[in-house]
């Protein structure tokens, strides 16, 4: 038993459980080659232009970066078509989630609302801030319950989180569905729409929520460089929001949270259209392949708009996961999400996808 006392909500909080690493599996099973399809990373790796930017600026890491990353904010704003005053960059979108809870939700008074079997950061950040965290059931087929969420909002609801495309299901909510939800909740409740996987949703005009920003000042979009832009290891994300809310977040954030190399890589990759477009081609081709092949093999597959699919194998998911590991393929079992019968697998390269499907079919 620990002799050090900390806050009870910290003691009761479980740490984030990441996916297994390639190195862990190589060592455990004595493998030379491992394919990782567990963490929704970019199948092409890192942009060559971003890599060159990191090397070019590495000699300057003894300097502090420009606090607040105004050059990055300006580059993001230009890329997505908003004013730079609408952008808050962060150490991954996780930092923006944390800051939203810190500045908006009052401990012991307010609540953060979302649905069950969702991205664990919403719970973690809320609990660490001492704020009540409440979840409601998903709709049938694991769809995001946007109408039910709107009905559950009260004067105590500081923030509502909706992920679209969703993690771990890949299911997406349309712009019109979110517009109707935004109309039905109080203007003082922040509607935080996590769009980490928005680059992979098609057709984009049906799912890209940027059109709602001018209609609803209480909407915040959360985005990341970890997926389509291939910078998961650099930890860069951002929020898109009203200038007023952005100003409050800037007041509350610690200095220098986006490091110099992360900023340079992010600025560089925003101009690498060839890398971005090839990423989308590989992911969309792989998503269709996985969906078609797994359904043909008798698996239940949800309709994904992300760079991964969630499926229910014809055998016990835990056993399938372990057998894939022994054969050098890492996928994500979803027991930690409360979905023990399902597995999540992201698209890899064309070669990795073929190896995964061949191996899985042999196991099934």
Same domain, 187 and 329: no
Final residue of a structural domain among 269, 304, 333: 269
User: Is residue 1 pLDDT above 60, yes or no?
Assistant: no
Structure token pair of residue 79: 């890329």
Closest of 364, 316, 353 to residue 35, by C-alpha: 353
The whole-chain average pLDDT of the chain stands at: 95
Closest of 106, 47, 116, 72 to residue 239, by C-alpha: 72
Report pLDDT digits (tens) over 137-149: 999 999 999 999 9
Same domain, 210 and 113: yes
Instruction: Give the chain's domain count.
Output: 2
Final residue of a structural domain among 269, 292, 321: 269
pLDDT mean over 17-25? 79
Same domain, 242 and 307: no
Closest of 259, 245, 237 to residue 121, by C-alpha: 237
100: three-class secondary structure by DSSP: helix
- Is the separation of the CB atoms in 15 and 231 below 8 Å? no
Final residue of a structural domain among 226, 241, 269: 269
Same domain, 168 and 232: yes
Within-domain flag for 313? yes
Same domain, 91 and 224: yes
Same domain, 258 and 172: yes
Q: What does the alpha-carbon distance between residue 142 and residue 164 come to, in Å, rounded to a whole number?
A: 13
User: Is residue 340 pLDDT above 60, yes or no?
Assistant: yes
Within-domain flag for 126? yes
Report pLDDT digits (tens) over 190-247: 999 999 999 999 999 999 999 999 999 999 999 999 999 999 999 999 999 999 999 9
User: Is residue 25 pLDDT above 80, yes or no?
Assistant: yes
CATH number of residue 350's parent domain:
3.90.1150.10
* % of the chain exceeding 70 in pLDDT: 99
Report pLDDT digits (tens) over 263-286: 999 999 999 999 999 999 999 999
Same domain, 117 and 145: yes
CATH number of residue 223's parent domain:
3.40.640.10
Q: What is the pLDDT of residue 31?
A: 87
Number of Cβ atoms within 10 Å of the Cβ of 29: 12
Within-domain flag for 54? no
User: Is residue 334 pLDDT above 60, yes or no?
Assistant: yes
Same domain, 17 and 90: no
Report pLDDT digits (tens) over 62-101: 999 999 899 999 999 999 999 999 999 999 999 999 999 9
Same domain, 258 and 284: no
Higher pLDDT, 87 or 11: 87
pLDDT mean over 2-19? 78
With cut-offs at 50, 70 and 90, classify the pLDDT of residue 2: low
Report pLDDT digits (tens) over 110-138: 999 999 999 889 999 999 889 999 999 99
- Domain hosting 151: range is 62-269
Within-domain flag for 55? no
Mean pLDDT is lowest, of 14-23, 105-114, 184-193, 347-356, for 14-23
Q: What is the pLDDT of residue 9?
A: 79
Q: CA angle, 69 as apex, 67 and 73 as ends, to 5°?
A: 150
Within-domain flag for 357? yes
Q: What is the pLDDT of residue 255?
A: 92
């Amino acid at each position: 038993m620990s002799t050090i006392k900390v806050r009870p909500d910290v003691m009761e909080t479980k740490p984030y459980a990441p996916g297994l690493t390639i190195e862990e599996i190589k060592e455990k099973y004595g493998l030379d080659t491992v394919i990782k399809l567990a963490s929704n990373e970019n199948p092409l790796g890192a942009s060559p232009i971003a890599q060159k930017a990191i090397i070019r600026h590495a000699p300057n890491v003894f300097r502090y970066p420009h606090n607040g990353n105004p050059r990055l904010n300006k580059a993001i704003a230009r890329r997505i078509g908003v004013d730079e005053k609408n952008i808050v960059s962060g150490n991954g979108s996780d930092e923006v989630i944390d800051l939203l809870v810190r500045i908006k939700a009052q401990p012991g008074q307010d609540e953060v609302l979302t649905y069950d079997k969702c991205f664990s950061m919403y719970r973690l950040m809320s609990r660490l801030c001492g704020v009540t965290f409440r979840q409601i059931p998903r709709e049938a087929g694991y769809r995001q319950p946007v109408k039910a969420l709107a009905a559950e909002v009260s004067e105590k609801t500081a923030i509502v989180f909706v992920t679209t495309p969703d993690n771990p299901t890949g299911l997406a909510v349309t712009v019109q569905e979110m517009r109707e939800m935004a109309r039905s909740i109080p203007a003082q409740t922040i509607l935080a729409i996590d769009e980490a996987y928005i680059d992979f949703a098609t057709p984009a005009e049906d799912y890209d929520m940027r059109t709602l920003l001018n209609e609803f000042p209480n909407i915040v979009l959360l985005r990341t460089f970890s997926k389509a832009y291939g910078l998961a290891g650099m930890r860069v994300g951002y929020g898109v929001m009203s200038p007023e809310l952005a100003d409050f977040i800037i007041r509350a954030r610690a200095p220098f949270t986006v490091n110099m190399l992360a900023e340079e890589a992010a600025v560089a990759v925003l101009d690498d259209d060839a890398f971005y477009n090839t990423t989308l081609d590989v992911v969309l081709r792989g998503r269709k392949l996985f969906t078609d092949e797994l359904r043909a093999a008798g698996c239940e597959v949800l309709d994904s708009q992300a760079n991964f699919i969630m499926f229910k194998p014809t055998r016990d998911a835990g056993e399938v996961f372990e057998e894939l590991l022994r054969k050098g393929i890492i996928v994500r079992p979803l027991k930690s999400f409360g979905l023990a019968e399902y597995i999540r697998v992201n698209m890899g390269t064309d070669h990795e996808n073929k190896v995964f499907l061949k191996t899985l079919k042999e196991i099934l």
